[in-house]
Structure 1
Amino acid sequence: MGHKKSKLYHHPQVEKSYTTLTMSQIRYICRHTNLIDKEVCRRHDQFLKMSEDGLLTMGQFTSILQAIWPTGNVNEFADYVFNLYDKDKQGFLEFTEFIILNCQLNNDQFYRGCLFDMIDTHHKGLLSREKIEPLFMALFKLIGHSTNEQNGTSISQRHIVHLLQVVDESKNKCLSRHQFINIGNTIWTDEDNGMGALLAEHPC
C-alpha cells in the first residue's frame, strides 16, 4: 500500500482594503450618524484626498482638529481622542472610525465629555474642587481662549465656588460629568462677574 504525499495549499491572505467603501460600512455609518448614504460616499471621497491609503495618522487628525479650533492648542486633546478611537492600537484611523468621530466632534457635549474624562483619570464621574480648575484650563486651551489673569479669562477659586453653588444640587462640592457636559444649558443668575459672565463672554 503506497503512501501518497499530501499537498499543502497555501491560500494567499487577502489584505483588507482601506480605500474601498462597502455597503455594510455605509449602512453601519448611517446607523451611527445622521448621514445618508450619498453623503457618506461624498465624505469618503474627501477622506481619500487627505489620506490616499485610507489610513489617517495622528498628525493628519491633529491638523483636522486644528482647523476646527484654529486658535487653540489641540495637541493634548487630539492625542487623547485619537488613542480612544484607535481601539486596535495600529496608529491610524480607518474611514469608519474617523467619520463617526468627526460627526461626534460637532456635538459640544461630546468634546466636553472627552475633556472631563481626560482630567477624571480614576473614572469616578466626579471632580473635586482642586480638579475643576485644570478642567477649565484644558477647555480654554482647546478652544483658544487665553488664560491670562490680566485679561479676565482665568478660572479663579471664586469662579469655582460660584459654579458649584449654581450646578451642585447635591451639595457634595464636586462637579459631575453630566453637569459639565450640560454646562451650556445652565441658567446663570450671577451679577458679580462670576462663572456665568466668564462663560457668556467666552462661549465653549
Structure 2
Amino acid sequence: MDKWEEHFKGVLNLENETQAFPAINTTPDGNIIQVTPEEVRATVNQSKVKRAPGPDGIHTEHLKETQEMLLPFWTNLFNVCLRSGTIPEKWRRSSVNILYKGKGQTNDPNSYRCIALENNILKIFMKILTKKLQDSECPEGVVHEDSFKDIYAKFFPHGNSSLYAHYVFKAFDVNSNGAISFRDLLVTLSTLLRGSIYEKLRWTFKLYDINGDGCITRSELGEIVVAIHELMGRRAHQVEDDRKAREQVDRVFKKLDLNQDGVITIEEFIESCLKDEVITKSLQVLDSGTGL
C-alpha cells in the first residue's frame, strides 16, 4: 500500500495555493475583453456529448438543453471571472479516475494512468478563452520566436527578456522548426500548470539542456542564469553582478551534479530537485516563472 501511495503522490497534482490569476480587462491594444452570449452558445453547441461529468455532475447535455434559459447567467458569470481574476472554488476541483493501461502487472501502480474529470462549465469557459487567445496572439495557428519574445516582454517590462525567451521558445519548439503550433503551446502550458512534479522537472531540464544532448553542463547552466538575471532587470557585464552570477552557478551546479563528473544528467537533476524543499514547493504552486 505504501508503494501505491508514494507513486500517486508523484503523478497527481498537489493542492495549489494560488488563489487567483491576474484580472483581465483589456487587450494590448486597449479593447475591452468580454465574453458574448454568441460565444457561449457556439461553444456549448460544439461540445461533445456522452462524456463523463466533473464533480458537479452537470453533463454537456444539460448545458445544451438549458442554454436558452441560462445563457445570460453563464455569460455574466464568465465576465465576472475575467474582471475579478478568479473562478468559483468548485471549478478548481476535479474527479480523478485511475485506469489500467492494458498492459503490465495489475499490482504495479505504473500500469495505471489517471484521468481528471473537470466540470463541463469550466471547459466551456476555457474553450472560449483559448479561442480568444488564439485569435489575438496566434491568428495563423503558430507562434514564431519574435512574437514569442514580444509576449514575454509584456510580462517582464523592466528587464531584458529576449535571451530567456529565446531559451524558453527552444524548449517549447518540440519540432525544432522555429515555430510553435498553438496546440503545442497549450500542451506545454498545461504540463507546466497542471502536470506532476516529475513532468515539470523534465521540462525544466529540457530548458537548461540548451544543446539537447541529454545533460546540463556548467556552461549551459551559466547561460540560463545570465538570462534570468537580465530578465529580472539586472545589468549585464557588471563586475559585482557577474561575480555573484558565477558564484550562483558554482553553488547550484555542485548541488545538482551528484557524482561530480562535470555534467548533470536528468536523473541527477530530478533527484536533487526533489530533495530540495524550496524547489518542490515552487513547482507545486508554479512559482517558477523565472526558472529554478
Q: Output the TM-score relative to the length of structure 2.
A: 0.40
In structure 2, the CA distance between the partners of 1:92 and 1:112, relative to structure 1 (3 Å rule), is: closer
Q: Output the TM-score relative to the length of structure 1.
A: 0.52
Relative to total residues, which structure has the larger strand share, 1 or 2?
2
Q: Which amino acid aligns with 1:83?
A: D
Quote the residue 1:104 is aligned against. 191
For structure 1, the residue ranges without an aligned partner over 5 or more in a row are 1-18, 189-201
* 1:76-155 pair list within 5 angstroms: 76-84=166-174, 87=175, 91=179, 93-94=181-182, 96-106=183-193, 109=201, 112-117=204-209, 119=210, 121-123=211-213, 125-141=214-230, 143-144=231-232, 146=234, 147=236, 148-151=238-241, 154-155=244-245
Paired residue secondary structure (2:173): helix
Residue 45 (structure 1) aligned with residue 133 (structure 2): no
CA RMSD of aligned residues (A): 4.6
In structure 2, the CA distance between the partners of 1:109 and 1:153, relative to structure 1 (3 Å rule), is: farther
Aligned residues: 162
Q: Percent identity?
A: 11
1:133: how far off?
Answer: 1.8
Quote the residue 2:260 is aligned against. 171
Tell whether the 8 Å contact from 1:81 to 1:114 is kept in structure 2 after alignment.
yes
In structure 2, the CA distance between the partners of 1:183 and 1:67, relative to structure 1 (3 Å rule), is: farther
For structure 2, the residue ranges without an aligned partner over 5 or more in a row are 1-41, 53-93, 95-112, 279-289
Tell whether the 8 Å contact from 2:208 to 2:220 is kept in structure 1 after alignment.
no
Paired with 1:138 and 1:32, the residues of 2 have a C-alpha distance of: 36
Paired residue secondary structure (2:181): coil
In structure 2, the CA distance between the partners of 1:129 and 1:159, relative to structure 1 (3 Å rule), is: same
1:177: how far off?
Answer: 3.3
Tell whether the 8 Å contact from 2:218 to 2:249 is kept in structure 1 after alignment.
yes
1:179: how far off?
Answer: 4.2
Quote the residue 1:57 is aligned against. 143
Deviation readout 1:131-181 (Å, 9 max, x if unpaired): 43224224444x52525443477421x544443443332121322334446
Paired residue secondary structure (1:115): helix
Paired with 1:184 and 1:153, the residues of 2 have a C-alpha distance of: 28
